[in-house]
Amino acid sequence: MEYRRLGNSGLEVSVVGLGTNNFGWRMDAQQADKVIHQAIELGINLLDSSNSYGRGLSEEHIGKSIKGMRSKVVLATKVSSSTSDGPNQRGTSRKHIMEEVEKSLTRLGTDYIDLYQIHYPDYDTPIEETLRTLDDLVRQGKVRYIGCSNYAAWRVAEAIWTSRALHLETFVSAQPEYNMLDRRAERELVPCCQAYGLGILPYYPLSSGFLTGKYHRGQPVPEGTRLSGNSRAQERTLTGSNFDLLERLAAFAVEREHTMVELAIAWLLATPAVSSVIAGATKPEQVVDNAKAAPWHLTPQEKQQVNDILDAARRG
Contact assessment for residue 116 and residue 101, using Cβ atoms and an 8 Å cutoff: yes
Q: Is 53 a catalytic residue?
A: yes
Give the rounded distance of the alpha carbon of 33 from its chain centre.
19
Beta-bridge partners for 175: 149
Please state, in angstroms and as integers, the Cα–Cα distance from residue 97 to each residue in 55, 86, 273, following that order. 16, 15, 28
Contact assessment for residue 58 and residue 23, using Cβ atoms and an 8 Å cutoff: yes
Active-site residue, selected from the candidate residues 3, 53, 151, 215: 53
Kindly give the residue spans of alpha helices, DSSP state H, lying in the chain: 29-41, 57-65, 94-108, 127-139, 153-166, 189-196, 231-237, 240-255, 260-269, 284-291, 300-315
Q: Which residues are catalytic?
A: 53
